[in-house]
């Protein structure tokens, strides 16, 4: 993909890939390719050693200026070590990790603070609360001489609701059994879903393990 210029002119993305067996056996681990990868030699490898915890957010991998990245690594390590010490079940570990994903340290938008400036605060919190729901409701106003003007405003990048919509946890054990857990927090209208009612869990075995 890199040699054939597959990452050139592509929007921002980070792809983590590899064989889980290589993580268990301590070989090449996993690798990250992004639109910033300059060449094959620039591919980043991680998880080559046991007990590594690595965080990746919307910034480039390795950017340590984002508090959510630093906190995410620390809190995840703590959750795992506490779960192991307590000899908890897989579901109990998932609950601990959900607590990490649900931690809201997002500074609240100040009065008259412009959206472009407030965007800088997104780097602080792992969980992003729903932002813009009030604005979304404006577009659902009943017919009204003035309200129609609001509803028919040209769509822009900041229209609608923004925030954490799902929590996803993927676990893989030493035998290659994968547990995929997904919790949906908001429906298509940006209305909160009762905790547990938006949960889905799948378990499967990696072939050729």
pLDDT digits (tens, 9 = 90+) for 92-123: 999 999 999 999 999 888 888 887 788 888 89
Confidence label for 182 from pLDDT (cuts 50, 70 and 90): very high
Choose from 113-127, 129-143, 150-164, 191-205 the range with maximum mean pLDDT: 191-205
Measure Cα distances from 110 to 2, 121, 130, 156, 191 in Å. 43, 11, 15, 21, 23
Q: Which two tokens stand for residue 59?
A: 């910034």
CA gap 13, 34 in Å, rounded = 5
- Can you give the pLDDT at residue 208? 74
Average per-residue pLDDT for the chain: 84
**pLDDT tens digits for 58-83?**
888 888 999 999 999 999 999 999 99
Alpha helices in 32-132 (DSSP H): 67-85, 90-101, 115-118
CA gap 177, 200 in Å, rounded = 17
88 or 162, higher pLDDT: 88
What number is the average pLDDT over the span 46-62?
Answer: 86
CA gap 81, 24 in Å, rounded = 18
Handedness of CA 61, 62, 64, 69 (dihedral sign): positive
Confidence label for 160 from pLDDT (cuts 50, 70 and 90): low
- Can you give the pLDDT at residue 10? 81
What number is the average pLDDT over the span 161-173?
Answer: 91
Decide if 59 contacts 71 (C-beta within 8 A): no
For residue 156, the 8-state DSSP code is -
Whole-number percent of the chain with pLDDT over 90: 40
Asked if residue 179 has pLDDT above 90, the reply is yes
């Amino acid at each position: 993909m890199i040699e054939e210029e597959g990452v050139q002119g592509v929007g921002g993305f980070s792809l983590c890939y590899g064989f889980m067996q290589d993580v268990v056996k301590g070989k090449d681990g996993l690798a990250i390719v992004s639109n910033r990868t300059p060449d094959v030699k620039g591919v980043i490898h991680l998880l080559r050693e046991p007990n590594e915890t690595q965080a990746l957010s919307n910034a480039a991998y390795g950017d340590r200026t984002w508090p959510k990245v630093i906190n995410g690594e620390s809190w995840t390590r703590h959750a795992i070590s506490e779960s192991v010490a307590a000899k908890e079940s897989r579901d109990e570990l998932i609950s601990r990790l959900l607590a990490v994903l649900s931690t809201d340290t997002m500074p609240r938008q100040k009065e008259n603070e412009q959206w472009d400036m407030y965007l800088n605060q997104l780097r602080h919190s792992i969980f992003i609360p729903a932002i813009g729901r009030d604005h979304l409701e404006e577009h659902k106003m009943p017919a009204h001489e003035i309200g129609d003007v609001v509803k028919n405003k040209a769509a822009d990048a900041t229209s609608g609701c923004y925030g954490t919509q799902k929590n996803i946890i993927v676990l893989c054990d030493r035998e290659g059994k994968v547990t995929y857990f997904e919790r949906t927090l908001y429906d298509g209208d940006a209305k909160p879903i009762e905790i547990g009612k938006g949960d889905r869990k799948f378990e499967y075995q990696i072939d050729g393990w």
